[in-house]
C-alpha cells in the first residue's frame, strides 16, 4: 500500500514538472497573463494558469494509482475530480477574462455542490465534556458549501508572493496526510500524496523568482481540494476537533479574517482590495521576498504542528480536552498579538497590546510597526 502512495507522489510530481512549461507557453498564447500594478510585487508580465498544470498532474496520478487501492472511496475521488474541474475552469476563465465576483462565486458554489452530491459533507457535531453527538440535519449542506467556498477564497487571497500559496498549501496537505495516516484513512492519504506531489512539482517553477503564477485556477483548486480533504477526514467533528481543520488552514483563514476586520475598522467594503495582507505587512517591515515567504511557512508549520498535537491528545483520552482547549486559546492569543504587532488590522488601533502594556506596567514598543 505504501508503495502505491510513493508511486502516486512521484507520478504527480513528475507530471507537474513536465506540464508546467507547456502550460506556461499556453498561458502566453491565450493571453492569460498578470501585468504589474500598484498592489502587486512583481515588475514584469507573468503567465498565469499554473493551476492547470497542478490539476492535470493531480488527475493523471489519480487515474494511475487509485484503481490499485482496494479500500479507496471512489465517490470521494470523483467528487473531488468533478468539482475540481468546475473550479479550475472557473479560475482559468478568471485568469484570462477577469470574471466578475458573482460569476466566480457561482462557479465555486457549483463545485462545492458537486462535492456534497457525492455525499461529502459535515454530518454532525460532537460537543465535548460529555455531551452527546448533535446531528445538524439539512444544515450540513449549506455549512459544507460555505466551508469549501470560504477556504477556496482564503487560499486565493494569500496568493501574493512567489511560492506562497503553493508552499502554505503543501504544508497544510502534509498535515492532513499525517492525520490521515494516524486514523488511518487510505482515501485521504492517497489524495493527499498526489496533491502534494503536484504542488511540489509546480513549485520548481513558482518559487522566487517565479517563472509562472498559479493564478486563480491554481489557488481556487488548492483551496477547494484542501477544504474537501478536511471534510473527508473530519466528517464527524467535535467542537474542539472541528477547529483542527481550521488550524491546518490557519494562515489563509486568519489572513482572510483579519482582512475582513481591517476593512470593517476602516469602513471599507469587504471586497475592497488593499495592500495590508500578512505578506504585505512583512514586506513593509523590511523583510525580503524570500524571507517573508519563509516566515509565513514557519507560521503555517506552527498551525499544522498544533493540529497534530491536538489530535494526538484527543486520541489518547477525552479527559485531555482541557489541554487541547488550552493550546487553541494560546494559539489564538499569540495570533492576535502578532497581528496587532505588525499592524495587519490597523496601524494605530492595538487594544490587546495596550491591555498587556497596562498589565506589565511598561510601554509596548510599537513604533517600528507603524504606530
Strand partners, 133: 126
Residues 170, 196 contacting (CB under 8 angstroms)? yes
Would you say 32 and 212 are in contact if contact means Cβ atoms under 8 Å apart?
no
Distance between CA atoms of 345 and 83, rounded to whole angstroms? Answer: 34
Distance from C-alpha of 353 to C-alpha of 339, rounded to nearest angstrom? 10
* Sequence-distant (≥ 6) Cβ neighbours of residue 349 within 8 angstroms: 265
Q: How many CB atoms lie within 10 A of CB 181?
A: 15
Tell me, what's the pLDDT at 276?
Answer: 79
pLDDT score, position 237 = 39
- φ/ψ region of 361 (left if φ > 0, alpha if ψ in -120 to 50, else beta) reads left
pLDDT at 340: 81
How far is residue 329's CA from residue 332's CA, in Å, rounded to a whole number?
A: 5
The H or E element containing residue 135 is strand 133-135
* Dihedral sign of CA atoms 13, 14, 19, 21 in order: positive
Contacts of 84 (CB under 8 A, 6+ apart): 55, 58, 59, 111, 221, 224, 225
Residue spans of alpha helices (H) in 158-288: 164-182, 186-206, 215-233, 243-248, 250-265, 278-284
Q: Where are the alpha helices (DSSP H) in the chain?
A: 2-30, 50-65, 74-97, 101-117, 140-157, 164-182, 186-206, 215-233, 243-248, 250-265, 278-284, 289-316, 321-342, 351-360
For cell 506531489, what's the residue?
197
CA distances (Å), origin 301, targets 113, 160, 190, 213, 298: 31, 19, 21, 23, 5
Angle, CA 241 vertex, CA 236 and CA 244 arms, to 5°: 110
The residues, any chain, with a CB within 8 Å of residue 367's CB and separated by 6 or more, are none
Dihedral angle computed from the Cα positions of residues 324, 233, 155 and 51, in that order, rounded to the nearest 10 degrees: 150
Tens digit of pLDDT at every position of the chain (371 positions): 788 899 999 999 999 999 999 999 999 999 999 877 655 555 678 999 999 999 999 999 999 998 888 778 888 899 999 999 999 999 999 999 999 989 999 999 999 999 999 988 877 555 454 445 556 677 889 989 999 999 999 999 898 899 999 999 999 999 999 988 888 888 999 999 999 999 999 999 999 889 999 999 999 999 999 999 988 866 533 334 456 778 888 899 898 888 888 888 777 777 777 777 888 888 888 899 999 999 999 999 999 998 888 888 876 665 666 777 788 888 888 888 888 888 887 777 777 777 766 777 665 554 444 44
Asked if 82 and 120 touch (Cβ cutoff 8 Å), the reply is no
The Cα 283–Cα 168 span in angstroms is 17
The β-bridge relationship of strands 133-135 and 124-126 is: antiparallel
49 to 4, 40, 52, 85, 304: CA distances (angstroms): 29, 17, 6, 14, 28
Amino acid at each position: 500500500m505504501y508503495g502505491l502512495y510513493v508511486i502516486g507522489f512521484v507520478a504527480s510530481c513528475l507530471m507537474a514538472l513536465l506540464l508546467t512549461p507547456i502550460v506556461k507557453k499556453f498561458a502566453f498564447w491565450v493571453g492569460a497573463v498578470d501585468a504589474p500594478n500598484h498592489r502587486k510585487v512583481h515588475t514584469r508580465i507573468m503567465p498565469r494558469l499554473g493551476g492547470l498544470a497542478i490539476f492535470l498532474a493531480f488527475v493523471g496520478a489519480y487515474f494511475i494509482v487509485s484503481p490499485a487501492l482496494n479500500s479507496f472511496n471512489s465517490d470521494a475521488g470523483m467528487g473531488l475530480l468533478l468539482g475540481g474541474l468546475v473550479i479550475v475552469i472557473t479560475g482559468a476563465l478568471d485568469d484570462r477574462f477577469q470574471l466578475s465576483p458573482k460569476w466566480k462565486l457561482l462557479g465555486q458554489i457549483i463545485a462545492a455542490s458537486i462535492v456534497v452530491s457525492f455525499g461529502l459533507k459535515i454530518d454532525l457535531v460532537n460537543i465535548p465534556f460529555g455531551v452527546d453527538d448533535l446531528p445538524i440535519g439539512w444544515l450540513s449542506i449549506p455549512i459544507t458549501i460555505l466551508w469549501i467556498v470560504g477556504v477556496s477564497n482564503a487560499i486565493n487571497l494569500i496568493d501574493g508572493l512567489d511560492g506562497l500559496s503553493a508552499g502554505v498549501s503543501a504544508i497544510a496537505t502534509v498535515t492532513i496526510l499525517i492525520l490521515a495516516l494516524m486514523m488511518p484513512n487510505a482515501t485521504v492519504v492517497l489524495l493527499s500524496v498526489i496533491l502534494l506531489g503536484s504542488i511540489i512539482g509546480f513549485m520548481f517553477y513558482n518559487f522566487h523568482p517565479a517563472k509562472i503564477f498559479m493564478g486563480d485556477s491554481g489557488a481556487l483548486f488548492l483551496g477547494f481540494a484542501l477544504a474537501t480533504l478536511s471534510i473527508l477526514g473530519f466528517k464527524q467533528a467535535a467542537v474542539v476537533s472541528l477547529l483542527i481543520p481550521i488550524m491546518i488552514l490557519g494562515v489563509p483563514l486568519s489572513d482572510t479574517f483579519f482582512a475582513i476586520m481591517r476593512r470593517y475598522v476602516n469602513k471599507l467594503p469587504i471586497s475592497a482590495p488593499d495592500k495590508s495582507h500578512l505578506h504585505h505587512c512583512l514586506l513593509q517591515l523590511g523583510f525580503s521576498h524570500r524571507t517573508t515567504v519563509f516566515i509565513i511557512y514557519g507560521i503555517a508549520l506552527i498551525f499544522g504542528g498544533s493540529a497534530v498535537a491536538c489530535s494526538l491528545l484527543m486520541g489518547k483520552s477525552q479527559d485531555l480536552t482541557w489541554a487541547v482547549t488550552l493550546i487553541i486559546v494560546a494559539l489564538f492569543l499569540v495570533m492576535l498579538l502578532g497581528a496587532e504587532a505588525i499592524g495587519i488590522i490597523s496601524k494605530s488601533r492595538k487594544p490587546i497590546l495596550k491591555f498587556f502594556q497596562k498589565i506589565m506596567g511598561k510601554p509596548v514598543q510599537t513604533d517600528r510597526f507603524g504606530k
